[in-house]
Chains A and B, each alone.
Chain A
């Protein structure tokens, strides 16, 4: 495992950074929010990213992708994360798309992956449930046998980019008790299916999600993705990979928040001097710097550990997520504090990072969850 960017990865970083600066600056996030945009992102910008090949980065060449890995995804995610770019890289590509790529039948993959990668359709993975906190196996949504297929009953909460999605990969239980690993299955449900209720939501970071009610949604047998009752392994693997992608995004956000704070410390004058000359603020800024550097190493290692199928890759993923969760929150909280009063205004942009940091922290498991997982993997 070499923790350096290749020439190609540096090139990707350059292109993605330029795109984020030119076509997806932070001001977009504010505009979408102020307009109450239902999607919280732009299908048009998403298609531009698809045209650049970014949506297909980690899909196999056989599925129409570039056959690259998480090492490339985190470079992309970081660049986009700097400007809080809201397009559905995490939801459509890393969650729903990768679930189909991992477990879908040839037919499902042939039908859904090309338009997904082309940015023509957006799919969402509906996995989270009330009361489950971060436990991916705590699934109460039921998939009962029905003539010709299954009948889905239950509620999924905060489905990322659920509002406006063209279809859902739904995680439901076909057998077993509420928290059992065995008995979890994945189903494809197209938007508009009878009994499917999608109510749009916005989270405090401005991004869209949905409350998805499944009130006796009937799906044909061919909508089963992967093996019946064996879906937990797919969900675990897909979420781990998406976690690494999210960590990449947080690296971008925390770095940007930090750099804006440094700039402010150097220019803001009070008591006749730049406030960046105060030792207390210097020391706190140095601490944030240390946390970001450690996070960067953890993310690079986690991406490469997963790509290289290293024996304890999940431990690296947990280390990265725990660190990034805490580092982004720290950097963003310090950013607001060091900006003083204006940091608290809606008019100033710095608050956006703090909001995104909190949502990112609680997506796919927070620091405490991942410390526990890390300890279990290490055998203590």
Chain B
């Protein structure tokens, strides 16, 4: 049956798409060729002395709230790492320049404000702990 095959094909392709996007959600990715440097003026808040976690959110986005809660609880445990939340809709210039395509997108900046990597979509707590420990550890080595 032709339409039966079409239905199966749609479901298979959609499942693959869904699984890929799910596994990419919230995963920390190191920036390879695009390293924007952000200043205090652009962000509107002080950068952390060790690193900055810059979260782009939009109003009423539920995963953004969850990410904020995790980060607000976590970052105080890492001295020198600041958590800054930015409303994407009121910072569209920045959103375009940084190529933020969805909320939440969480950028990880070094002490100079240069992006090291980012997580697109809501990260799990364990994923954030791993990144923060890495940022914190890296700062102590230097």
- Decide if A and B are genuine partners: no
